Amino acid sequence: MPPTETLFLESTTRITKDPIHSFMDFQVWDFPGQIDFFDPTFDFDNIFGEHGALIWVLDAQDEYLEALSKLHATIIQLQRNYPMINIEVFIHKVDGLSDDYKIDTQRDIVQRTQDELSDAGFDNVQISYHLTSIYDHSIFEAFSKVIQKLIPQLGTLENLLNVLCSNSGIEKAFLFDVLSKIYIATDSSPVDVQSYEICSDYIDVIVDISEIYGYSRSPNRQLIDASQPPQSAGPLSNGEEETSPEASSIIRLQNGMVLYLREINKYLALICLMRKESIEKQGLVDYNVQVFQNALEKVFEMRGA
């Protein structure tokens, strides 16, 4: 949904559950802001007993002290009953704030939270804070980090991406869930926002091209319907779908970098950022990506087994 359309969203009046079917099925539950978690009619155990992460959204452009004290009370309750739930605080709508003010706001929220929790006897609660906005990629990046913590195989995925990068001259590799643009894993080099943004934009380009030039494919292979760049496997007829390689695409950027995309399966795409010299050995890169893809299949097979 484009940010401008969010202006017309209706207010949330009850808990709404959005199932997300992807490489991992999960549900996002949206709670109305005015809900009272401590009301006796609110079934705290039934709701939080099943959750992996609590995302608490604070409006950084508004007065947040009341929402913050509700957050503190909720964390204390969770620590007593469900300490395994990840607590993620989105300091949201930071697009309206100057850089200095953003940092000050985050510092204030962190400090107040630490003080409040330590007064209640909880000194080492792990809480992640994310500065977010719908007007840039920060909301997707924050959500990516939340989801990554819920993936049991994250360490294995990271290792596989590290091996792929070091053997193929790749500077940064992301494994993206194409529809949500969440990246589920990346290699262990630091993520810089520009790399993430350009890879995320690249997905938009590929999805747009697919919508125009795409063709019908088997349900197992239909996420990126078709990108037919020079390097791709060539046009597929309907009868060939099961045996044809996945979609792939390469874009050369003016600054000498290259973006390499390979569809991994129904949901996932690998996007790599590398220098143009590395793609001169494209056979090697393609081969290593294939090995990575096979390894990934095994990782997810084992999970399903």
Ligand X SMILES: Nc1nc2c(ncn2[C@@H]2O[C@H](COP(=O)(O)OP(=O)(O)OP(=O)(O)O)[C@@H](O)[C@H]2O)c(=O)[nH]1
Residue ranges in contact with ligand X by CB under 6 A: 6-7, 9, 11-12, 32-33, 92-93, 95-96, 133-135
* Least CB distance to ligand X at residue 213 (A): 33
Residue 239 CB, shortest distance to ligand X, in Å, is 46
Q: Quick one: 89 or 269, whose CB is closer to ligand X?
A: 89
Comparing CB distances to ligand X, the nearer of 90 and 176 is: 90
195/273 Cα distance (integer angstroms): 8
Which of 244, 210, 251, 246 minimizes the C-alpha distance to 230?
A: 251
In angstroms, what is the minimal distance from the CB of 134 to ligand X?
A: 4
Torsion of CA 87, 129, 121, 108, to 10 degrees: -150
- CB-based burial label for 165 (10 Å; 0-12, 13-18, 19+): buried
Comparing CB distances to ligand X, the nearer of 134 and 251 is: 134
Q: Pick between residue 135 and residue 287 the one whose CB is nearest to ligand X.
A: 135
Among 22, 303, 294, 258, which residue's Cα sits nearest to residue 163? 294
Q: Between vectors from CA 276 to CA 273 and to CA 278, what angle results, nearest 5°?
A: 80
**23 or 140: CB nearest ligand X:** 140
CB of 140 to ligand X, least distance (A): 12
Minimum CB separation of residue 277 from ligand X in Å reads 39
- Give the integer Cα–Cα distance in Å for 194 and 286: 25
Go through the chain and tell me how many residues it has. Answer: 305
